[in-house]
Amino acid sequence: MTNEQRPYTIALDAMGGDLAPAEPVKGAVLAAHRHGVRVLLVGDPEAIEAELARLDHDHLPLKVVPAEGVIQEGGSPARSLRSKPRASIAVGVGLVKAGRADALVSMGSTGATMAASVLALGLFDGLERPALGGPFIGLAPTTSIMDLGAQIDCRPSQLLGIAALGCTFARYFLRIPNPRMGLLSVGTEAGKGNRQVQEAYPLFEASGLNFIGNVEGNELFLDKADVVVCDGFVGNVLLKYTEGLGRAAALALARSLGPDSPAVHQLNSIASTAESAGGPLLGVNGTVIVGHGKSTGEGIANAVGRAKDALAIGLVDAMRDELRLVLGRAGAMEAAPQGS
Amino acid sequence: MTNEQRPYTIALDAMGGDLAPAEPVKGAVLAAHRHGVRVLLVGDPEAIEAELARLDHDHLPLKVVPAEGVIQEGGSPARSLRSKPRASIAVGVGLVKAGRADALVSMGSTGATMAASVLALGLFDGLERPALGGPFIGLAPTTSIMDLGAQIDCRPSQLLGIAALGCTFARYFLRIPNPRMGLLSVGTEAGKGNRQVQEAYPLFEASGLNFIGNVEGNELFLDKADVVVCDGFVGNVLLKYTEGLGRAAALALARSLGPDSPAVHQLNSIASTAESAGGPLLGVNGTVIVGHGKSTGEGIANAVGRAKDALAIGLVDAMRDELRLVLGRAGAMEAAPQGS
């Protein structure tokens, strides 16, 4: 609980996301109001000022930091960053690196945010990639699932790193004292699963984490585990599947029951949890919150609030410490090959 | 369209599934009524006769074939089969092998059904394992997803085999003339995905199948593809996740809207599609329909009806031919290593 007194400064990628810059600017105004933070709006000054002019923001601690261009989804993020070194996400991460901002929030390309963050801020020792995750199922709002697409084709030691980050995230961020952590698999017995899960199992058992064994797909809804670990390929498929299913189910019910039926609203929340939640990029030496590209001002203000929470609880330091401890116990830091 | 005249004989594992033998026996009576098939009830004669005694089955072509014991879920199916060679599933498959039954239907252990079928009936040339799949999403009732757990850690050529089986299944069984087939992945571009998907992509392009590229999780609900191919690990997670989500969503709505609300019934159908559908085991030299362990008589009768349909359209021969063609085109039969 550090520095509760001084207001935090949050850099916000004003050009990132499908609804930029209008919604990020709205989000900044809301966040400054609600969360008592300073917000640095990073992007094209003219476009940002035009949006600000529509809103009541007198006396709010907002500042525009100029950047040139934005990195869109698709393509190679690393290549895009090289060709646009002054893009909003690069400038935003630079503010955190230089200590001019305490945290960064972006609704833009997740790949670009990851790449820029890793490049500028670096990863915790023992990691090769950051992790993405958190609760995204409306019906299981405290069950964190990770990785959601940052780490694909994980070695067992990578899965363990994700587990360590996830358990710290759940303990600090979701305030679950001793999170139950499981491996997503196709059967509950220790031998069940693909090679990756089978090889990770003994490592998880030796980790000192509260490992409860394998968790099957249906058990995500049965409050069996607080943190469920999977390869980013599987997690990303599940995340997008859940969004698609929520939207399709709400649409089907709206067609038969009318769009204002309470059932439709309830079902929409299955999909919207996935869309509105901004989660921290786990494993980088800095506080970076990544949100959904379709986020509106409301969701963006929430993401800024999450950045503030992460700072207030010292999430990054806690995760770094926990990762070192867990990888050390499992002997996984030694086992991890260099490079690759 | 062969042999529509003579009634088909279907062997039914009367001891398989959570509700055996009561529901399989009910299912047999229903199926004989509705589908005009002969049903061989395989299992403990006393238990089966006791269930039959409760039902009106005069003049129906039902026959009991004795077996000893049943193979439960869990453990090694191969080992269980060796220790119980007279188990109902083994006897049932034996009836097909001996030509005494045209097809087998089982709601028992999927692993045991697969192992017994492969052992007794053999696989198509070019396959190492059978495949499981079909439509299971209530909101996407004609989208087949496979594999659902039979083939885990697939090599690219295995994924291609699954694709060939799936496309034939969709064309013959679901009557989709030229099924659009996609690879489940985390991005639509060709380079996106894990190693497995990246390596499978060019093989799929060369297959002569109607390959439309990668399909993301949310796109399963957008009628983009008729057949979506994935590793059995991913498919099994998705299948169980869908069941769990459907059940949890229906429960949540029932709590807020009352159990008889139309929305609850509609949502229940998301889960029940997964539960009631029996699908053919793809790739074995014989017609074997595997159903959900919780199936009731109604679902079991439907599964028997599916067996009859598969026989009437010559599904097994069509799949064998298509597989040979596709693997030949992609050069994948040569590429597949022997053994392993």
CATH no. for A1-125+281-312: 3.40.718.10
Q: Tell me the percentage of chain A whose pLDDT exceeds 90.
A: 71
List Cα–Cα distances, A28 to A22, A92, A222, B92, in angstroms: 10, 14, 37, 67
Q: How far apart are CA A188 and CA B275, in angstroms?
A: 20
What pTM, to 2 d.p., does this model score? Answer: 0.89
Mean predicted confidence (pLDDT) in B15-21: 95
Q: Binning pLDDT at 50, 70 and 90, where does residue B1 land?
A: very low
Quick one: fold of B1-126+281-314? Isopropylmalate Dehydrogenase (3.40.718)
Q: What pLDDT is attached to residue A124?
A: 96
Domain with CATH 3.40.718.10 in chain B: 1-126+281-314, 131-275
- Chain B residue closest to A191 (CA)? B75
Environment class of residue A321 by beta-carbon count within 10 Å: exposed (0-12), middle (13-18) or buried (19+)? middle
Interface contact A139-B252, CB threshold 8 A: yes
Interface contact B237-A217, CB threshold 8 A: yes
CA distance to partner chain B, nearest, from residue A201 (Å) = 16
Domain with CATH 3.40.718.10 in chain A: 1-125+281-312, 131-277
Tokens found for residue A208: 């000192």
Class at the top of the CATH hierarchy for domain B131-275: alpha beta
- Chain B residue closest to A195 (CA)? B153
Interface contact A237-B184, CB threshold 8 A: yes
> What is the average pLDDT score of chain B?
90
Smallest Cβ distance to B217: which of A137, A194, A244? A244
- Chain A residue closest to B267 (CA)? A249
Q: What pLDDT is attached to residue A70?
A: 94
Q: What pLDDT is attached to residue B332?
A: 54
Compute the residue count for chain B: 340
A residues 109-168 lying closer than 8 A (beta carbon) to B: 137, 139-140, 149, 152-153
Mean predicted confidence (pLDDT) in B119-145: 91
For chain B, say whether A6 makes contact (Cβ under 8 Å).
no
Q: Binning pLDDT at 50, 70 and 90, where does residue B338 land?
A: very low
Q: What pLDDT is attached to residue A255?
A: 84
Q: How far apart are CA A76 and CA A220, in angstroms?
A: 33
More confident residue, B322 or A275: B322
CB B220 within 8 A of CB A241: yes
Is residue A339 scored above 50 in pLDDT?
Answer: no
Strands (E), A91-246: 103-106, 133-135, 144-146, 181-184, 211-215, 227-229
Tokens found for residue A69: 């261009």
Is residue A69 scored above 50 in pLDDT?
Answer: yes
The rounded Cα A196 to chain-centroid distance in angstroms is 24
For chain B, say whether A190 makes contact (Cβ under 8 Å).
no
Q: How far apart are CA A316 and CA A323, in angstroms?
A: 11
For chain A, say whether B340 makes contact (Cβ under 8 Å).
no
CB A336 within 8 A of CB A156: no
Is residue B301 scored above 50 in pLDDT?
Answer: yes
- Chain B residue closest to A251 (CA)? B139
Q: What pLDDT is attached to residue B82?
A: 94
Q: What pLDDT is attached to residue A276?
A: 56
Smallest Cβ distance to A241: which of B189, B193, B217? B217
Q: What is the pLDDT of residues A158-189, one digit of tens each?
A: 999 999 999 999 998 899 999 999 999 999 88
CATH architecture of A131-277: 3-Layer(aba) Sandwich (3.40)
> What residues does A9 pair with on adjacent strands?
A38
CA distance to partner chain B, nearest, from residue A232 (Å) = 9
Count of pairs with CB atoms under 8 A, one residue in A, one in B: 145
Pairing of strands A62-66, A279-280: unpaired
Which residues make Cβ contacts (< 8 Å) with residue B298, sequence separation at least 6? B27, B30, B276
Interface confidence, given as ipTM, is 0.88
Residue B258 backbone zone (phi > 0: left; psi -120 to 50: alpha; other: beta): left
Q: Which residues of A touch B231 (CB under 8 A)?
A: 194
Q: What is the pLDDT of residues A31-41, one digit of tens each?
A: 999 999 999 99
Q: Binning pLDDT at 50, 70 and 90, where does residue B75 land?
A: confident
